[in-house]
Structure 1
Amino acid sequence: MQRVAAKAPASFAPQVKDTQKRLGLLFDHLNNGELVKPDTVEQLTKLALALESKDYPEAQRLQVEVQRDKTDECGNWMVGVKRLVQMSKVTN
């Protein structure tokens, strides 16, 4: 997110700020052990690794998979994950 925030045009500042807020919600859920499906954290870890290695198709595939298969665990934070994938791709 830091790389994306640094490279995003100023006109995207509201979206960047909102994405950071939503990712903060995800980290709260992770820190509180609130993601209980067996492989949710594993999938999110793989998604983060895909973003780190700039494998955007894989990151997007994992994001869609988590959103589709774990709808009961996905809250407002999923919008942040989706935006992060999209913004990472365009600010590469």
Structure 2
Amino acid sequence: MPGAAPGAMGMGMGAAAAPMSQKPAAPAPPPGPPANISIATVDTSKVPGDQRAAITSLSNLFNSCVPLANNPAKKREMDDNTKKIGQLFWRLNAGDVSEGVVPKLLQLCAAIDAADWHTANHIQVQMTTTDWEECGFWLSAVKRLIKMRQLGG
């Protein structure tokens, strides 16, 4: 039984120590974007100057697609697009977009601004392949907007 006593004490001490070590290891997660976020409501005041082109480009792309959403399904899609791109803008404002993604995003936006849909689609597909975990939540919206703009003229 001497072997059982240290095991029991070890469990007791481990159980007592676990909550103390868990509190510092599990800080509250940083607040995420508001549930009702959209391109129109998101704060972009802290977006670095070199990244502001992405805000302008994607806002212009979205706004050019609004008149093309001429049925209820497309209007719902546009509601989803504004939320997803609003989340991207929120992350840019929070400095929460990685240094590896920012240049790709800016290249994508430059292609969109030039109406170079082939290049924009190519960059979007590359980002889907290489940066999906970080960008997946907004890339699908950008893909839909590119397609809508491309088909809508």
| TM bracket, shorter-chain basis | 0.7 to 0.9
User: Structure 1 counterpart of 2:108, which letter?
Assistant: L
Task: Specify every segment of 5 or more residues in structure 2 that has no aligned partner in the other structure, as ranges.
Answer: 1-61
The structure showing larger relative contact order (alpha-carbon pairs under 8 Å, at least 6 residues apart) is 1
What is the correspondence of 1:26-65 to structure 2 with a 5 Å cutoff?
26-36=88-98, 38-65=99-126
- 2: CA distance between counterparts of 1:45 and 1:64? 15
Amino acid at match of 1:89: Q
Shifted more, 5-14 versus 42-51: the winner is 5-14
Once residues 10 and 60 of structure 1 are traced to their aligned partners in structure 2, the CA distance between those partners, rounded to angstroms, is 25
- The residue aligned with 1:68 is 129
CA distance in 2, matches of 1:21, 1:10: 19
Q: Distance in 2 between matches of 1:39 and 1:91?
A: 32
Instruction: Give the structure 2 partner of residue 10 of structure 1.
Output: 71
Residues 76-91 of structure 1 aligned to structure 2 (within 5 Å): 76-91=137-152
Q: Tell me the alpha carbon deviations over residues 2-52 of structure 1, each in whole angstroms, 9 at most, x when there is no partner.
A: 01112332341111111111110111111111111x331111111112112
- The 3-state SS of whatever aligns with 1:25 is helix
Q: Percent identity, please.
A: 29
| Structure 1, unaligned runs of 5 or more | none
Coordinate RMSD, CA, aligned: 1.4
Match for residue 19 of structure 1 among 81, 103, 117: 81
TM-score, structure 2 length as denominator?
0.55
Using the size of structure 1 for normalisation, the TM-score is 0.87
Instruction: Give the number of the structure whose alpha-carbon radius of gyration is greater.
Output: 2
Taking the aligned partners of 1:40 and 1:89, their CA distance within structure 2 comes to 24
